[in-house]
Amino acid sequence: MRDDPAVIALVTAARDGDQRAWDEIVERYAPLVWAICRRYQLSRSDTDDVAQTLWLLLVEQLGKLRQPAALPGWIATTTARECLRVIRTASRYDHTELTSDSQLDPDSSPQIEQEVLTAELYAAVRAAFAELPDHCRELLSMLISDPPVSYAEISATLSIKIGGIGPQRARCLDRLRRSSSLSAFIDSERADQ
Amino acid sequence: MWDDEQLLALLKEALQDNQTVPPDFFQTGRNAYAWHGVDDELAQLSYDSERDLDAVAGVRAETAPIRALTFTSAHLTIELEVGDDALLGQLVPTGEGAIDVQTQAGVIATVPVDAVGCFPISPIPPSPFRLRCRSIDGPSVVTGWITL
């Protein structure tokens, strides 16, 4: 996902003053920031501090990112660095020893790369889902709801015959698979291999 | 790449990934955009005693010395020393003016710069904050966001 055109477009628009593009960036990557803070086991208030610093830095750097498509990686690495800084500051006060710093080094963590890939995939799936027509989103939401919803209930709620749910499900999933967000992702994965 | 079952499972994970994040966490991110488009010259952090000494020594000293930060822009260098309950700043080259202390909430204090370019800031502002230097005879310069 080195050159997702959607990410480049969002960065360019946000740099040029489009608040909606910025909101979309936040929408896509706040879960990544959240997940990384969870991995470092930060408290909620430390997590908020890290996020606030991260987004302010990003606003400042919007015009200077050399490779806008590398944004998710930048967000992940910067978040991890901020998490470490918070942990180091705390350990200085309560004198607890950290595990060795190299284990916490964001640049040497293979976890970061995996987290970025997962976050990009999830963001692409959510964007693809948002592009689906209402009836598909309703059906798929019911099919993945937890606890599960019976076909009879789906049939009653959405006014589809029970026998029509299977074919409808297949059509909606196919639309999801062929949506621009996800097909761009699949293509770039193929290109990487 | 994904069959129907896999795609449905992936969709479920992707949507849940989003739902575990509190809504106000997104709002923090959206609010940060208010700082976009400020036209001041940016002074980047060029030296941080904590970061740079750690890198040289490889280990941290038991007792931290006074932390010093330097921000550099094309026209101005801003040096900051972090004391227990105040910051001491120095502009190079020296010049009179005023410093606005900004947090995400806005400007929370304005302090004058004296004739030799010094300015004390007390108490230490809540992080993250940044300083905007309005000099009498030059462009305004703003530091990057500072977290102590």
Q: Which of A25, A144, A146, A171 would you mutate first to test chain B, the one with the most B CBs within 10 A?
A: A144
pLDDT digits (tens, 9 = 90+) for A154-176: 999 999 999 999 999 999 999 99
CB contact under 8 A, B11 and A140: yes
pLDDT digits (tens, 9 = 90+) for B85-127: 999 999 988 878 899 999 888 889 999 999 899 999 999 998 8
3-state secondary structure of B88: strand
Q: Which of residues 102-131 of A touch B (CB under 8 A)?
A: 121-123, 125-126, 129
3-state secondary structure of A10: helix
Q: Which of A65, A122, A181 would you mutate first to test chain B, the one with the most B CBs within 10 A?
A: A122
State the pLDDT confidence band at B58, using cuts at 50, 70 and 90: low
CB contact under 8 A, A53 and B127: yes
Contact present, B7 and A172 (Cβ < 8 Å): no
Domain extents in chain A:
1-128, 132-193
Distance from CA of A95 to the nearest CA of B (A): 10
Rounded to an integer, what distance in angstroms lies between the CA atom of residue B114 and that of residue B41?
21
The reported pLDDT for the residue numbered A102 is: 43
Contact present, A27 and B19 (Cβ < 8 Å): no
Task: Provide mean pLDDT across the span B14-43.
Answer: 86
State the pLDDT confidence band at A108, using cuts at 50, 70 and 90: low
Contact present, A92 and B67 (Cβ < 8 Å): no
More confident residue, A96 or A24: A24
The reported pLDDT for the residue numbered A164 is: 93
More confident residue, A141 or A181: A141
3-state secondary structure of B104: coil
Contacts of A126 in chain B (CB under 8 A): 14-15, 18
The reported pLDDT for the residue numbered A14 is: 92
Classify the C-alpha dihedral A179-A182-A188-A190 as positive or negative: negative
Q: Which CATH class is domain A1-128?
A: mainly alpha
Of B20, B21, B36, the CB nearest to A59: B36
Closest-CA residue to B110 (of B98, B119, B124): B98
The reply to whether A155 touches chain B by the CB within 8 Å rule is no
More confident residue, A184 or A163: A163
Contact present, A125 and B11 (Cβ < 8 Å): yes
Task: State the ipTM, two decimals.
Answer: 0.82
Share of chain A above pLDDT 70, in %: 85
Q: Which of A11, A29, A59 would you mutate first to test chain B, the one with the most B CBs within 10 A?
A: A59
The pLDDT of residue A103 is above 50 = no
Task: Provide mean pLDDT across the span A16-20.
Answer: 89
Q: Which of residues 19-38 of A touch B (CB under 8 A)?
A: 19, 22-23, 26-27, 30-31, 33-35
The reported pLDDT for the residue numbered A180 is: 83
CATH architecture classification, B39-143: Sandwich (2.60)
Task: Provide mean pLDDT across the span A82-91.
Answer: 84
Of B12, B18, B145, the CB nearest to A60: B145
Share of chain A above pLDDT 90, in %: 52
Distance from CA of B91 to the nearest CA of A (A): 22
Domain extents in chain B:
1-36, 39-143
